[in-house]
Structures are given as structure tokens and as C-alpha cells.
A and B are shown apart, each in its own frame.
Chain A
Amino acid sequence: MADLRSNFIGIKSPNPFWLASAPPTDKEVNVRRAFQAGWGGVVWKTLGLEGPPVVNVNGPRYGVVYGADRRVLGINNIELITDRPLEVNLREIKSVKRDYPDRALIISLMVPCDEPSWISILRAIEDTEADGVELNFGCPHGMAERGMGAAVGQVPEYIEMVTRWVKQHSRMPCIVKLTPNITDVKKPAEAALRGGADAVSLINTVNSITSVDLDLFAPQPTIDGKGSHGGYCGPAVKPIALNMVAEIARNPATANLPISGIGGVTTWRDAAEFMALGAGNVQVCTAAMTYGFKVVQEMITGLHDYLDSHEMEMSDLIRRAVPNVTDWQHLNLNYTTKAVINQDDCIKCGRCYAACEDTSHQAINIEPGRVFKVNEAECVACNLCVDVCPVENCITMRELEVGEMDLRTGRPVQPYSNWTEHPNNPMARAAE
């Protein structure tokens, strides 16, 4: 039986599924329920300075992108950090941690970019017995305009500076949470490492407008006729998050920097994908906000069964796909495939034909009786037919062996060769 117990930068939890800093971890009652449901850890929703707490809007906070059956595909929010008094949060954190010593409890922090503010908040959380801190350098709305959140995360020098303060003034493990609203995520990750971060977590939410009300002519959520950009999360942002995690994991400078994967983790499979690309654990929010805390049970059993069926431990999974992430120029340009339509499985919808004929390479023919056949002489193996076919595995890509004739080029398939050595590449010629 695979062991799901997790040790992330020294922080132990019974499983690698943590709840991300967000509404579900804003107060004791939720966190207790989460732990009862089986979550391995929580990152308590971001705390701010002492004194009057921040103020949230009193209208809707979320905008949603739906599938046809109102399946939630993505959510954005315009919520700020916790709007509850600091001392209440601290009291509750201490109380929860006392009752759940085996679970990970991380405190998310965000204060102005000056050293005394960070010293002050670190002192305030000192006796909560929490396992670590996560620096919120990601929130794209509200706090960023005040010089916090993403405003810090977008400037590597600030990340490094604040991280250094935190490591200097506390002994707690420190996770730096990164924003995706930046050109090259490797830079802030490197800055966090330089500042002494024990890990990074990513992604925070993506700047977004989910929809426009076509009667009010205002973005949603709409507050008194106006809308603002919010932070996008949920299944829709997973591809962005996976790429950013992989970028950090395969960057030699940050290859050993532990990563907590965040962004659209909805099932065990998503979690496994994040881990394969370098995440040591995952943080979940939208799935819990959509379906409730119970989803963690599927994640636990699913990851368990996957690891068992592949005879792997979690450590075998983590980073396993990283070596297979490469740059375009290293892809094998002689790797050749052709689409094959399984006529027994074909339901004759003709989507492959419409897509290929109208938008690709006219490589599918219709024969009498709505029989769709691939014309290999035209097929460039773009895979679009596979992508649009509604029947799983009805259309597959057949790999041509080296030496086999490619009917499109009229030449036999050659052994591995990539762009760096391709005759059309002027740089390749220059190197000769």
C-alpha cells in the first residue's frame, strides 16, 4: 500500500492535500470541519496587520464560468484577505492546532512592504504553534493597489527582500506564494530562493473578467453597476499552473526548490499531474468551494489506487515527468504519426471531417455511407481530429517506424533529429 503521508519542507501531514489560503480556511469552524473530512493540512486565510481589519465588498464576490449543466469551470473573486480581527484568527489557529497536532497548519501573511510590519506580524503569530508561514505575494486585486500581494510578487527584488526579513525574524518554514500575473515565473521563484525561502507555492489567481452582463454592460460580479478584475481559479487555470510549476521544476537554478502546487486541482488525477511536474504536495480551494470538503476522500483513494496500481511510492511520482518537459527545439522533428479512424467505433458524426476539411489539411475523405477515412498523403498529424472526435480512442495516432514511407513527404522516416541540427535553421548552419 502506497504511503500518502507527506513531509513537505519538514511539515508533516497525513496526506499531501492541503486547503489553500482562501475562504474555506478563514475561520475555525471551517478548518475543523475540513480536518474532520480528512484534509492533510490547511493554509489559514491570509492575515494582515493588527488594528481595523480590511473591508470586503458587501455585494457578490465571485464571477463564474460554467459548462452547459452549470458545471463550474472557473471562478474569479474580488475578495480581499481576512476581514476578521487578527487576534480572533490567532486564537482560533492556536485552538485548532492544539486539537489537530498531526495536521499541517500554515499561516498565510500579507502586510505592507516594510520590515517593522513583518516583524510585528511574525511576533504576533509566534505562539500559535502553527507549522509554517506562506507569504501571499499573489493576490491580484484590492491589496495590490496598496502595494501588497501581486504588487510584491511582480517585483523579484521585493520578494527576495521580504523573504529575507521573514527568514531573519522567524524560525518557521517559509513558503513564498507566487503570482501568475507575470511574464516569466522563474524570476520570482529564483528571488524567493535567494531570499531564503524553503519553498514556493503557485499559482495564485489569474487576473480576469469572467463575463460581462449583457444587460447591465458590466463585468460580473457586479457591484452597484460596476465590476473590477478578479482573480481566476478553478479547473480552467490548471494548464497555466502546470506550466508554471514545470518551469520552476526544470529550471536548474530552482530545481531543488520545493513546490506546493496550486491551481485547479479538482481530482486525484490533477494532484498526481502537479506532483509529476514537480510539486511536493498540492493545495486545493475551488474544488472544495464547489463540492464541499468531502472531495478530499476521492483524492485520497484515487491517489492511493494510482500509486498502488503503478507500484510507486509518492516520492517516485514527484518530479517524474520533469525530465520529459523540454523546449521546442529539442523535439524530434522526424517523429511521424498519422491519424487512424477505427471504423467499428466511429459513430459517423463527421466532426473530424468538418474540422480537417474546413480548418486543417483536407486529409479526411468521406466515402459512401458516411465512412470517414484518413488520407495519409495529406495528414500532417496535427491531432485535431483526435481532439474533436467525441468517441474516446476512436481516432488514434499511429507512429511510423524509422524507415517507413511517409506518404505526405514521399520520403522514409528518418532517425531522431531536432531543430538545432535542422538544415533550415540558420543557427545550425552557423555552428558548422
Chain B
Amino acid sequence: MSNSQLTPGVVPGRLTTEVYAVNFSDVAPPLDDHEARVAADRCYFCYDAPCVTACPTSIDIPLFIRQISTGTPDAAAKTIFHQNILGGICARVCPTENLCEGSCVRETAEGKPVQIGALQRYATDHLMDEGEHPFRRGEATGKRIAVVGAGPAGLSAAHRLAAKGHEVTLFDAREKAGGLNEYGIATYKAVDGFAGREVDWLLGIGGISVETGKALGRDLSLDKLRADYDAVFLGLGLQGVNALRAPGEDRGEVHDAVDFIRELRQSRDLSALPIGRDIVVIGGGMTAVDAAVQARHLGAQNVTIVYRRGQERMSASAHEQEHATSSGVRIICNAMPIAVHGNGTVREVEFAHTRDGANGLEETGERFRLAADQLFRAIGQTLHGHPEGLTLSGGKIAVDATGRTSLSGVWAGGDCATGGDDLTVTAVAEGRDAAEDIHTQLMGA
């Protein structure tokens, strides 16, 4: 028996093997040498370049592009990695149109920025393909540091600390390191196991031991870590998922989008993954888009993203939104879920149209229903299961500009901490900067 896109219910194998392969292949194939040189030639090598200012990790973008244009991509990659050791994944997942490319003077001039993201990928791929690690460890300091959470913030912190000569133990609750990069982004953004390869490559600096399957609060306690190590960095990410707060959300086939994405990312056989014919994704961020597009790519016939505010408020970038719509995903804005209907399992989701009123979002009085075999929640994540004793602010671990928490000897960064946007690149910057501060404090410099 075989299923098609028309098969009702939640079933696997809606598409042929070939179509799965195409649907989950590299969404933005790498530039070849000539393309890279031509793309690099568009860079004006701006003075105090706006793209650098716009990059949370402050990569010297004009310099690395110039290095590409002169045929020295490895030098370009070192320029990138010096500021952002996860420059490879950031080249793939950064919302560049909101960051570097959005501020490119070519965007002002012609509406077509220099392809900074693609060029960054060209350079970093080139160096990583050579397999050698570009940095050496500093002289051993004898200091031991615990980094909890092997996502972008933790990896970045661990690498910088190891580079300074410290001994780092990197803990993660899951079975693989990588965090969001390994579990939380769409497959087609990091094909060929890139997230795992990048972690292995990053660890090539040495001095970092990785202990997976160790969760804070379950296998580890902050007090013990503080006692056993000279410093602790928390890069916990966000584990909790917001609820819809709509009746019926406990029905079957109502899932968190992050769980769906994680399962998909870890799947070895996409044709075995069951997917509904009619999918509703609620939310307006990158997770919503990743879930919706991948649902389409798994063969769902109708996929709709519903966002409660206007389209301009969606946190998914315009590029992401366009990727969704060009993948056949419908985006409905200004609508909020009212109820999840169905007999045991979701069948329909009821929405109310909304508008911005005097007291915030209010219903217009108009309602509609969408058929749904599956409903994915992508309405934000929260800090969950954080250790006692840390001061929180706005539901996140409060940190100062250098990542210090309210507990001495404890730093935090990335999504779990207060700070910049919840972006991989921001987490990398925060992990890096906290590592620098830890080093400064431990060495008494």
C-alpha cells in the first residue's frame, strides 16, 4: 500500500523517495569558486562597515570578503572564526537580511546586498573541509570550567575557554551536543549532518571533554558544579514551550513544533515519518516556518501558519516568510486560536480574527475554522527547570553585559539569559564574551 498527499489522517510515505531527497536537500547550495569571487567583488570594503556593526559577533566582514576575492578563503575563514567559532552554522541559519545583509550599502544602493551569508559559508566550508583546526590552545592554566548546555552559547564559551588554556567540561542533557543546531532547525538548512560535524571540528581545539545525557537538576546540581569547578557557564537554552491556552489543546495530534522538528532532524528515514494531510502551525517565528515548510516537504497537502498579529510583527524574517509561501505554505495573520475541535484527536482549529485595539489585541468578532489532522504550537519557548538561587528577569536568567549572573562564579548566555535576540549568532557572541570575562576574572588580569 502507498499513501499520497490526499490520504486522510496522519500517515507516513506520502511522497516518493526521490521527492523526499529533493525536498530536504540543501536549501541554499554553496557558491562555487567563480560565483564566490564574483559575489565578493561586489563588496565595497566600507569604512567602519555597517555590516560589521549589524553582526552580533562583529565579524570583520569586509576583510574576509576581500580575502575571498584574492583567492585566500582559508584566511577569510580564520577572520570569521576568530569572532565566531560557529561561523559555519551561522552562515546557514542567520537571518542575514535582518543583520549584515540588511545593513549592506548595496542594499541601500540597489536593493541587492552582497551575499555575505553565502560568502561566509564558502569560506568556512573551505577551511572546515581541510579538517584542520585553525586555532591552538594557550598555555595550560590549571583552571577547570563547567559549561552546561552544548548549544551555540555553550560551544562558543567552551571553545574560547579552551583556547585560553583552561580545562573545560561540557555537559548536555541530550545525547548529542549541538543544541538548537542539532535539534531545532530545519533539515534543509544544515544538510549532511553539518551540526554534528561542526561540533566535532570545534572540539578539535582540545581541552574540552563532553558529557552528554547529563541534565542540570537531574544529574547535576549547580552547587556541586560551583564547588567542583573554578567557574560555571550556563547555556541552557529554553526547554519549556508556551501553551495555546485554548480549550481542546490536550487532544491528540496537538504537538510542540520543536518536538516535531527534533524528531524530524533525528530521523534516518523521512518516508517513515507520519504527517497529516491538513496541518495548522500556530506562531510567527522561525520555528513556525521550519515546522510548516518541513510538514509540506513531508507531503502534507495543506499547511497553514496562523499568527495572531499583523505580518510585519512576525519574527520570522521576510526571507523566511517567502520561503514558506514559495513552499506552498499559507500564512494567515491577525487570527488567534479559540478552540481545538475533534473527537479525541484534532479535526479542526477554530480561530478568531484579531485587530490591534486600545487595550492590545482584540477580537473582531469574526471566526473561522481550519481543518487539521495535526496542530503544531510554535508560540515561543520559556526557561524551564533552571537552578535555584539565580535571579531572573523577564523569565530569563539575569546577566550583566559580560554574562555574570547574580551568583558569583556563575555566568550565563544564549537564549536562557537576558540579553539580545534569541538567535544562534547572539548566543555565540554571548558565550564568547562570557568566556573572555571568565578568563579575565580567573587569571586576575
Contact = CB atoms under 8 A, between A and B. Distances in A.
Contacts of A370: 48, 50
Contacts of B41: 67-69
A347 interface: yes
Contacts of A398: none
What is the interface of chain B mostly: helix, strand, loop, or mixed?
helix
Contact of A349 (B34, B38, B46): B46
Interface of B: 34, 37-38, 40-41, 44-50, 69, 105-106, 108-109
A348 interface: yes
Given A348-B108, A350-B46, 10 more contacts: A68-B38, A347-B108, A348-B46, A349-B105, A350-B47, A350-B48, A353-B47, A370-B48, A370-B50, A390-B44
B44 A349 contact: yes
A391 interface: yes
B38 A69 contact: yes
A312 interface: no
Contacts of B37: 68-69
A351 B46 contact: yes
B370 to A, nearest CB: 44
A390 B38 contact: no
Interface in A57-74: 67-70
A354 interface: yes
Residue among A70, A350, A351, A391 with max Cβ neighbours from chain B (10 Å): A350
B167 to A, nearest CB: 43
Contacts of B105: 347-349
Interface string A363-399: 0001000100000000000000000001100000000
A270 B104 CA distance: 34
A347 B40 contact: no
B109 A391 contact: yes
Contacts of B69: 68
Contacts of B48: 350, 366, 370
Interface of A: 67-70, 347-351, 353-354, 366, 370, 390-391
A206 B401 CA distance: 61
A348 B50 contact: yes
A68 B49 CA distance: 22
Contacts of A69: 37-38, 41
A349 B42 CA distance: 12
Nearest to A355: B47
A347 B109 contact: yes
B109 A390 contact: yes
A349 B48 CA distance: 8
A302 B152 CA distance: 58
Contacts of B108: 347-348
A353 B40 CA distance: 22
Contacts of B45: 351
A154 B89 CA distance: 62
Residue among B34, B46, B106, B108 with max Cβ neighbours from chain A (10 Å): B46
18 contacts: A68-B37, A68-B38, A68-B41, A68-B69, A70-B34, A347-B108, A347-B109, A348-B108, A349-B44, A349-B46, A350-B47, A350-B48, A351-B44, A351-B45, A351-B47, A353-B47, A354-B47, A391-B109
A348 B107 CA distance: 11
Contacts of A349: 44, 46-47, 105
Contacts of A348: 46, 50, 105, 108
Contacts of A366: 48
A121 to B, nearest CB: 47
Contacts of A350: 46-49
B173 to A, nearest CB: 45
A26 B396 CA distance: 79
B311 to A, nearest CB: 28
Contacts of A70: 34
Closest 7 CB pairs of A and B: A350-B47, A68-B41, A354-B47, A347-B105, A349-B105, A347-B108, A349-B46
A348 B50 CA distance: 9
A209 B48 CA distance: 37
A350 B105 CA distance: 10
A391 B105 CA distance: 11
Nearest to B107: A347
Contacts of A391: 109
A68 B71 CA distance: 11
Contacts of B38: 68-69
B118 to A, nearest CB: 16
A69 B47 CA distance: 24
B267 to A, nearest CB: 42
A350 B50 CA distance: 10
A118 B324 CA distance: 77
Nearest to A388: B44
A391 B109 CA distance: 8
A390 B106 CA distance: 10
Contacts of B50: 348, 370
Nearest to B62: A349
A4 to B, nearest CB: 36
Nearest to A394: B109
B70 to A, nearest CB: 10
A393 to B, nearest CB: 13
Contacts of B46: 348-351
B101 to A, nearest CB: 14
Nearest to A67: B41
A388 to B, nearest CB: 9
Nearest to A70: B34
A83 to B, nearest CB: 34
Nearest to A345: B109
Nearest to B103: A348
Contacts of A354: 47
A350 B46 CA distance: 6
B274 to A, nearest CB: 49
A348 B106 CA distance: 10
Contacts of A347: 105-106, 108-109
A63 to B, nearest CB: 18
Given A349-B105, A391-B109, A68 B40 contact: yes
A69 to B, nearest CB: 5
Nearest to B48: A350
A351 B48 CA distance: 10
A67 B40 CA distance: 12
